[in-house]
Copies of this chain bind each other. A is one copy, B any other.
Amino acid sequence: MSDSNKGPTRRQAHERKLKRRSMILAAISTSVVVAALVILIPLTPGWERVKQSFFNWDIVVRTFPKLLNAFLLDVAIFAWSVPLIAALGLAIALARDVRDPVFYPLRLFGILYTDIFRGVPVVLVVYLIGFGIPGLGLQRPFNSPYLWGTVALVLTYAAYVAEIFRSGIESIHASQRNAALSLGMSPSDTMRFVILPQAIRRVVPAQMNILIALQKDVALLSFIGPVEIFRQAGVFKSLLASFTPYVVAAAIFLVVTIPATRLADHMLAKQNRARS
């Protein structure tokens, strides 16, 4: 009984063997596949053309700095939209939770709002608001496509964020509400001190996914003017007659979105594990 700390146990020995074997197998099969790809793909008849069109290194070098610069605009639009979205989304979530009949119009508004903005393609909202509203004769600077493009994104994403907040609020078990009410606390205090703090914490991973989607949808603003990375890549594409700038743009997006998505997945998985 006391020798269990000396030397590897039988299972450890077995697992070490297994692990060595599977690492070797994985290494072999991976190298075979990678080698096949690296050797065979350049032999295909269209490869030169694909390379020219999608992976032209010269064009990467030439366009990268300007594309990166244009991406800063995406980041900026994202950065100033997020707090607005969070605030509006929470307000609408709470509006939909109001029980007092006097405020029924508020609830109705909340319902209509989320239905409409979740139902229409973002690009349509961007066109309608980003082009339509300035077209009503607003004077500069109030007709800026940055302004109205942002409004379009904020209105759309606030609808999604509101629904997630609401689902968070509803996911808090009734017993928490009961516990607070049974102590004599008022419904608004219960919401503020007991339900909301838990609900908000619980929906962080879902909201992160929405933010990642937003970061990508910022590209749609390019259709109403702002020269952000997607538009800049389009300009290069027409000047250079190559799709490489789009590939570069995609790569720049991935650098931001992959870690963010991974983080969101990780948090969500942790939460799911904790719940079950």
Inter-subunit contact B136/A46 (CB<8 Å): yes
Decide yes or no whether A170 CB sits under 8 A from chain B.
yes
Inter-subunit contact B50/A136 (CB<8 Å): yes
Decide yes or no whether A6 CB sits under 8 A from chain B.
no
Q: Distance in Å from the Cβ of A115 to the closest Cβ of chain B?
A: 5
Decide yes or no whether A185 CB sits under 8 A from chain B.
no
Q: Annotate A227-238 by CB proximity to B: 1 below 8 A, 0 otherwise.
A: 000100110000
Q: Which chain B positions have C-beta within 8 A of A30? A: 104-105, 108
Q: CB within 8 Å of B: which of A102-118?
A: 102-105, 108, 115-116, 118
Given A121-B217, A257-B119, is A49 in contact with B102 using a C-beta cutoff of 8 Å? no
Q: Distance in Å from the Cβ of A70 to the closest Cβ of chain B?
A: 13
Contact stretch, chosen from A9-17, A20-28, A190-198 = A20-28
Contact stretch, chosen from A56-64, A80-88, A142-150, A261-269 = A261-269
User: Out of B26, B46, B102, B167, which one reaches A137, CB within 8 Å?
Assistant: B46
Q: CB within 8 Å of B: which of A248-276?
A: 249-250, 253-254, 257-258, 261-262, 265, 268-269, 272, 275-276
Given A167-B272, A173-B276, is A250 in contact with B29 using a C-beta cutoff of 8 Å? no
Inter-subunit contact B132/A54 (CB<8 Å): yes
User: Out of B34, B46, B217, B258, which one reaches A115, CB within 8 Å?
Assistant: B258
User: Out of B34, B49, B104, B120, which one reaches A250, CB within 8 Å?
Assistant: B120
Inter-subunit contact B243/A128 (CB<8 Å): yes
Decide yes or no whether A246 CB sits under 8 A from chain B.
yes
Decide yes or no whether A177 CB sits under 8 A from chain B.
no
Decide yes or no whether A123 CB sits under 8 A from chain B.
yes
Q: Which chain B positions have C-beta within 8 A of A131? A: 243
Residue picked from A101, A217, A254, most chain B C-beta under 10 Å: A101
Which chain A residues have a beta carbon within 8 Å of chain B's beta carbons?
Answer: 21-23, 25-26, 29-30, 33-34, 46, 49-50, 53-54, 101-105, 108, 115-116, 118-125, 127-128, 131-132, 135-137, 163, 167, 170-171, 173, 212, 216-217, 219-220, 230, 233-234, 243, 246-247, 249-250, 253-254, 257-258, 261-262, 265, 268-269, 272, 275-276
17 A-B pairs besides A53-B135, A119-B257 with CB distance below 8 A are: A21-B101, A23-B101, A25-B102, A26-B104, A29-B105, A33-B105, A46-B136, A49-B136, A116-B254, A119-B254, A120-B253, A120-B257, A123-B123, A124-B249, A127-B246, A170-B269, A275-B275
Interface CB pairs A-B, < 8 A, 23: A22-B101, A25-B104, A26-B102, A30-B108, A46-B136, A115-B254, A116-B254, A118-B212, A120-B253, A121-B216, A121-B253, A122-B216, A123-B219, A123-B230, A124-B233, A124-B246, A124-B250, A125-B250, A127-B234, A128-B250, A167-B268, A167-B272, A170-B272
